[in-house]
């Protein structure tokens, strides 16, 4: 390998192994191309403001004296920002170092000389593919007003408007919808082109020699055909001969057919893609959420659970492979997606970070088989995930446990317990359940002794629970790993301990504030 | 008052679980099912079971003393459950009827039909799921309290006429006692059946017949009961212990 090739490969490896460079590239790539990236919307908004101000300045310049600052801003500053953006997109469009390394490693593997020419060609081809894309060409044209001395180039400002496609997600969707109907649209345009061509020739043949007719040239005929087929019909050019009027009738009927055809194509495309667009929007919303309760499987229990969690101000996302169930879920305004929760690919498409974003997964599938399968999928994705599952048949309990479910709820057993409790100690039962139901205004709640509190609160005495209005039922002691009922005032508290307290809602709220104030003071 | 018999209508999954839970605490469980196969299944499980018909005039039930008997309506069909509750209430106005409902809507119908306590399956399950996720320690604690898995217990103490607590306020009573117990709530039987939580009605004046709901260890509850001169009504484990 010659010195040049060696230097090229060494540089490629150096670039590839640079942690800082890789991280920067990742951020830039996210900023430019990842719709789920949290800062991208701000970047997009900023660029849209620049584009609209640029067009505003252009329009203002037509009738008013050009303001120096606006001229500099429009011709230099905006162009410069667009240039930077273009270069950044150019940079992240392909990984040149990686292409170089891949070629080098492939050649080494095949025990042949490093083909530097081929590697360079691959790098250039990748960049050329980006540069020759429509979006990149628009980006480049949008920078042109930089050379404003050439007056014609000022018109390129209008190309900046096309850049809006890049930043507005809805326009992306619109483009994607039209692209999905490429064949139908092409057929339509061919049909329209053919009609216009035939109509132009016919009207020209019928009218060009008539001295009363305004159709004198082929361009007049073309203009009349386009105006007529589009059903606009200005009336400035009209056929005067009988034959010409017959052609006009045919073109008018064809125009209506063309419009109907075009409308049906666009409407059907939108109808077909509506769910995808909505899902795309929901996924974007989902990616911004934190501490989500992910409910897998939608039914009556899921509906109750989701509604209650939402009333508590929690973020709830429902997944079910059955689209009809999801349609039902959406009727209750839940964030619901027709995704199979038992498919890794499906979960992957959501693009959520299980550790950072998911508070717990609730498996509420129709069968235990479904819940076990989903549990295994989610567990394989993340070991730390907290999973709770509904159990349908108690003989399947072990299977759910083996699949990694942390908590199992068996409704029948629960109802059995409640019936027994009520039969046994109705008043005590009602008292405890009134506390749980929170109807009475008195609630039972947990207060975590966090790291800050632990520094200032050493024992129960420091909690300053002045009897009566707030009851300290006990402490779930981390140190002793047990629940300590009604602890004495000298009971030592530590970080991670949970205080179980009973009191009026408002009183408890104030008590929490008091505790934190005490810590601060 | 100790519950001596449970009359359980229906023998589906929920009813089986109820029978399972009650069979060690209640001396007599009688199942009334609407078809022969359910009756046979219940009998095979060692339960006393009979065939019933919704058109029955319920003469069979006349032998039960309803002051110590609970009726649980757990039929599969929601409509039949409502019908059953209605006809039982009509025939036995004094009976305590517990009914199972799937939805909240059905729960209201059962209440209108005269059930004393309705357990809404869906809502209860959803609540439990949320409690387990949001307040796991409290859920475990409350479940254990009701299940008597811990030494810690919840008990009801009825204040007798001779009780030293009668005529005093709750706060006075709590300040004077040295017992390691927590008085969670008081039910003033004369005023209403609703609870006065001590965290709210701290100055409630105690009367004879009031029921104190207390949490504490067995020994402490017994000592407190003796101290106030009340009767621990329902905690049989405490009595036998």
**A483 vs B145: CB contact, 8 Å cut-off?**
no
Q: Which of A11-20, A63-72, A98-107, A120-129 has the highest mean pLDDT?
A: A120-129
Task: State how far the alpha carbon of B42 is from the alpha carbons of B1, B24, B29, B35, in Å.
Answer: 28, 16, 11, 11
Tell me if B122 sits within 8 A of A304, measured CB to CB: yes
Quote the tokens at residue B115.
């059930």
**Rounded Cα distance, B183 and B201, in Å:** 12
User: Quick one: tokens of A222?
Assistant: 């073309």
Residue reference for tokens 């326009």 = A171
Cβ–Cβ below 8 Å for B124 and A305 = no
- Dist. CA A85–CA A79, nearest whole Å: 10
Q: What ipTM was reported for this prediction?
A: 0.76
Residue numbers of A between 109 and 138 with CB closer than 8 Å to B: none
Helices (H), A242-353: 242-288, 300-311, 323-331, 344-350
Chain B CB contacts of A430 below 8 Å: 195
Of A178-192, A248-262, A343-357, minimum mean pLDDT range: A343-357
Q: Which two tokens stand for residue B36?
A: 């022969």
Considering just the CA atoms, what is the radius of gyration of chain A in Å?
Answer: 35
The pTM score is 0.66
The rounded distance, in Å, linking the Cα atoms of A383 and B116 is 46
Q: Which backbone phi and psi does B58 adopt, to 5 degrees? A: 60, 30
- Our separate counts of H helices and E strands in chain A read 24, 10
Rounded Cα distance between A258 and A246, Å, is 18
Chain A residues near residue B131 by CB distance under 8 angstroms: 436
Mean pLDDT by 10 residues, chain B (241 residues): 83 88 84 91 91 80 86 90 91 90 87 89 87 84 72 82 82 78 79 68 78 86 81 46 30
- Which 8-state DSSP code applies to residue A74? I
Do the Cβ atoms of A386 and B124 come within 8 Å? Answer: no
List CB contacts of A19: < 8 A, sequence separation 6 or more. Answer: none
Among A355, A413, A363, A357, which Cα is nearest to A388's? A363
User: Among residues 420-439 of chain A, which lie with CB inside 8 Å of chain B?
Assistant: 420-432, 434-437
Q: What does the radius of gyration of chain B's CA atoms come to, in whole angstroms?
A: 20
Residue-wise pLDDT for A197-206, tens only, equals 999 999 999 9
Better-predicted residue by pLDDT, B185 or A228? A228
Query: Whole-angstrom Cα distance, residue A506 to residue A512?
Result: 10
**Would you say residue A370 has pLDDT above 90?**
yes
Q: Report the distance separating Cα B58 and Cα B8, nearest Å.
A: 13
Q: Which residue of B has its CA nearest to A391?
A: B125
Q: Give the distance from residue B63's alpha carbon to the nearest chain A alpha carbon, in angstroms.
A: 19
- State the Cα angle at B171 between B170 and B173, rounded to 5°: 65
> Average pLDDT, whole number, for chain A?
85
């Amino acid at each position: 390998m010659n010195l040049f090739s060696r230097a090229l490969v060494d540089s490629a490896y150096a670039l590839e192994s640079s942690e800082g460079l890789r991280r920067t590239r990742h951020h830039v790539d996210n900023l430019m191309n990842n719709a789920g990236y949290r800062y991208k919307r701000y970047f997009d908004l900023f660029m849209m403001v620049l584009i609209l101000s640029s067009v505003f300045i252009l329009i203002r310049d037509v009738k008013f004296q050009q303001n120096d600052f606006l001229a500099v801003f429009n011709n230099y500053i905006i162009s410069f920002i667009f240039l930077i953006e273009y270069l950044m997109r150019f940079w992240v469009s392909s990984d040149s170092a990686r292409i170089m390394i891949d070629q080098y490693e492939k050649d080494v593997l095949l025990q042949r000389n490093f083909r530097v020419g081929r590697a360079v060609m691959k790098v250039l081809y990748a960049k050329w593919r980006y540069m020759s894309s429509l979006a990149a060409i628009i980006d480049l044209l949008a920078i042109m007003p930089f050379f404003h001395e050439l007056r014609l180039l000022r018109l390129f400002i209008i190309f900046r408007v096309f850049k809006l496609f890049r930043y507005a997600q809805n326009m992306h969707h619109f483009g994607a919808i039209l692209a999905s109907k490429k064949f139908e649209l092409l057929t339509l345009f061919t049909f329209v082109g053919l009609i216009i061509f035939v109509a132009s020739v016919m009207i020209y043949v019928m009218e060009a020699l008539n001295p009363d007719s305004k159709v004198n040239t082929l361009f007049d005929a073309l203009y009349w055909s386009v105006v007529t087929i589009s059903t606009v019909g200005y009336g400035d050019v009209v056929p005067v001969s009988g034959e010409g009027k017959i052609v006009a009738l045919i073109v008018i009927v064809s125009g209506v057919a063309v419009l109907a055809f075009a409308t049906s194509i666009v409407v059907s495309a939108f109808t077909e893609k509506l769910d995808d667009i909505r899902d795309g929007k929901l996924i974007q919303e989902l990616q911004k959420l934190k501490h989500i309760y992910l409910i897998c499987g939608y039914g009556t229990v899921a509906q109750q659970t989701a509604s209650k969690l939402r009333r508590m101000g929690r973020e709830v996302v429902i997944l079910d492979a059955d689209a009809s169930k999801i349609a039902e879920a959406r009727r209750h305004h839940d964030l619901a997606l027709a995704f199979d929760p038992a498919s890794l690919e499906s979960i992957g498409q959501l693009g959520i970070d299980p550790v950072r974003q998911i508070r717990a997964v609730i498996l509420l599938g129709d069968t235990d088989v479904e819940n076990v399968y989903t549990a295994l999928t989610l567990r394989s994705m993340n070991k730390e995930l907290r999973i709770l599952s509904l159990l349908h048949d108690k003989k399947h309990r072990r299977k759910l446990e083996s699949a990694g479910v942390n908590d199992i709820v068996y409704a029948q057993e629960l109802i059995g317990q409640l019936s027994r409790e009520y039969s046994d100690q109705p008043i005590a039962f009602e008292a405890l359940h009134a506390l749980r139901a929170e109807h009475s205004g008195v609630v039972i709640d947990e207060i975590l002794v966090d790291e800050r509190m632990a520094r200032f609160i050493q024992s129960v005495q420091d909690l300053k629970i002045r009897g009566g209005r707030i009851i300290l039922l006990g402490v779930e002691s981390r140190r002793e790993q047990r629940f300590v009922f009604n602890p004495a005032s000298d009971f030592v508290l530590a970080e991670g301990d949970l205080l179980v307290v009973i009191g009026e809602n408002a009183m408890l709220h104030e008590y929490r504030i008091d505790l934190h104030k005490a810590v601060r003071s | 008052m100790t519950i001596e018999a449970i009359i359980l209508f229906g023998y589906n999954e929920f009813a089986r679980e109820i029978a399972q839970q009650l069979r060690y605490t209640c001396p007599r469980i009688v199942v009334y099912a609407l078809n022969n196969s359910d009756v046979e299944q219940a009998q095979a499980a060692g339960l006393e079971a009979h065939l019933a018909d919704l058109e029955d005039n319920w003469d069979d039930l006349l032998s039960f003393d309803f002051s110590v008997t609970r009726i649980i309506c757990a039929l599969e069909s929601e409509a039949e459950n409502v019908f059953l509750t209605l006809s039982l209430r009509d025939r036995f106005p004094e009976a305590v009827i517990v009914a199972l409902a799937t939805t909240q809507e059905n729960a209201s119908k059962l209440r209108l039909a005269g059930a004393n306590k309705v357990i809404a399956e869906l809502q209860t399950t959803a609540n439990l799921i949320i409690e387990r996720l949001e307040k796991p320690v409290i859920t475990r604690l409350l479940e254990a309290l009701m299940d008597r898995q811990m030494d810690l217990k919840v008990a009801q103490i009825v204040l007798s006429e001779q009780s030293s607590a009668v005529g005093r306020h709750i706060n006075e009573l709590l300040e004077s006692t040295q017992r390691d117990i927590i008085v969670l709530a008081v039910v003033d039987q004369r005023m209403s059946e609703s609870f006065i939580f001590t965290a709210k009605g701290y100055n409630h004046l105690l009367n004879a017949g009031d029921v104190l709901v207390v949490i504490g260890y067995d020994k402490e509850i017994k000592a407190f009961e003796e101290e106030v001169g009340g009767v621990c009504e329902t905690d049989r484990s405490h009595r036998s212990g």
